[in-house]
Structure 1
Amino acid sequence: MLLTLVCISVAVAHGVDANTQQFLQANQGLAIGPFLYIGAKHMVTGYDHLLFLLGVIFFLFRTRDILIYVSLFTLGHSLTLFFGVLGNIAVNAYLIDAIIGLSVVYKGFDNLGGFQKLFGWQPDTKMAVLVFGLFHGLGLATKLQDFDLPEHDLWKNLLAFNVGVELGQFLALFFILILLSFWRRFDSYFSFAVLTNTLLMAAGLVLCGYQMAGYVLTK
């Protein structure tokens, strides 16, 4: 059973479905609409990105704070998405995705006050979100680098993909914030905060473990 789960993880590690693979392999020019769609779809279905964002905004109650943190995350993943693909920066996709899993663990641990309790210090939360955003963007870049995308109009297609990612992120955040706003009306929100963030850490550890298993199996 464990081996089956690991094999499934390896198979879907890059998060690109068959139809998207077929399009990316066949595309030879400017395709704004399709790249917009692919970027939005990837973010909406990217559970690792969404879990991290959930952790980021879990204890943010002011719109201004949410905008600041989400903007830092957006800046980070936009930079490495563009420079990763255009600069052909080769990184192992499994290791990057394992770090993305650890970013989820970090955010859950941070929300629980783990750094203060265990180490007596608090990392700069804004800087951490920006740095992990860089890794998330590199993860996006590795998925596109698996395909031999034509150089002609590449930056335009990347821009469309990134805009799609942002649209997907906005849509996902919209629904997440609606659910959180509703839940925050009840005392259970804070009563279950420890459990929720513990589960967030557990999910991040599982994601990291799956990606490391994929790395080992493909060596």
Structure 2
Amino acid sequence: MISSGSLSNSYQISADSPNTRASANTVTTKIQLAADYIYQGFVHILPRGLDHILFVLALFLFAKRRSALIWQVSAFTLAHTITLALGIYGIVTLSSAIVEPLIALSIVYVGLENIYRAKKGTSSHTRLPIIFAFGLLHGLGFASVLGDVGLPPSQYLMSLVSFNVGVELGQLTVIALAFLSLYPFKHKTWYQTKLVLALNIAIAVIATYWLIERLT
């Protein structure tokens, strides 16, 4: 793989080089470019994006039904896709000094809300707007990372889409790993009252530490 700092320059050169086999070379370049940006998006979640991992894990822990998880993850995905695109095109910009603490705060909120809603027994559908709003924040964080990676001008849109595909694959992997790890205990009497509660508390505590760290 090409390192993140050299992606845009490498593909700008190869994509724009005229020769007699330009068509074949362009196809090869596009495939390699897509693969590399998918990789960059994936590793931003796994293993680098612990804050995003905890957010997705919090969504998983609250959803008792598959449909609830799909709704929440879909709202989060739609939102961060919007601000990723707006951020990378420079339409919406916000300093990372503001975005990063807010991302940490979003994780604290979701972790604590999981605990509160579990006790009250409220529906997950009522929190879709807040999940969507938090997704907008996370999208700005993704845009900052992709801005550091760089985008080749000749393949701007495809690089953006490929990076987002990598992010989604990373999120789905987190959910799959969480399912495989926790499913054996799902029907235990202590699963919700002890295990899920402990995990939500851990998520909120870790995110609180990040929030303080990012504010100081």
By the TM > 0.5 criterion, same fold? yes
How many residues end up aligned between the 2 structures?
Answer: 192
> Is residue 4–residue 149 contact of structure 2 (8 Å, CA) maintained in 1?
no
SS at match of 1:87: coil
The 3 A distance-change label for structure 1 pair 186 and 123 is closer
Tell me the residue number matched to 2:34: 32
TM (norm. structure 1) is: 0.78
- How is 1:1-219 mapped onto 2 (pairs within 5 angstroms)? 19-24=3-8, 26-28=10-12, 29=15, 30=30, 31-45=33-47, 46-113=49-116, 124-189=126-191, 190-213=193-216
Q: Distance in 1 between matches of 2:3 and 2:179?
A: 31
Percent identical among aligned pairs is: 29
SS at match of 2:64: coil
The 3 A distance-change label for structure 1 pair 21 and 110 is same
Question: Considering only CA atoms, is the larger Rg found in Structure 1 or Structure 2?
Answer: 2
> Is residue 78–residue 137 contact of structure 1 (8 Å, CA) maintained in 2?
yes
Q: Distance in 2 between matches of 1:193 and 1:172?
A: 16
Query: CA RMSD, aligned part only?
Result: 2.6
> Is residue 40–residue 166 contact of structure 2 (8 Å, CA) maintained in 1?
yes
Q: How far apart are 1:27 and its partner, in Å?
A: 4.1
Q: Distance in 1 between matches of 2:50 and 2:195?
A: 21
Matching residue's letter, 1:62? R
Runs of at least 5 residues in structure 1 that lack an aligned partner in the other structure: 1-17, 214-219
Matching residue's letter, 2:158? K
Runs of at least 5 residues in structure 2 that lack an aligned partner in the other structure: 16-29
TM (norm. structure 2) is: 0.79
Q: Deviations over 1:65-103 (max 9, x none)?
A: 111111111101111111110135332113211111111
SS at match of 1:113: helix
The 3 A distance-change label for structure 1 pair 34 and 19 is same
Q: Distance in 1 between matches of 2:146 and 2:166?
A: 14
Which of the pair is proportionally richer in helix?
2
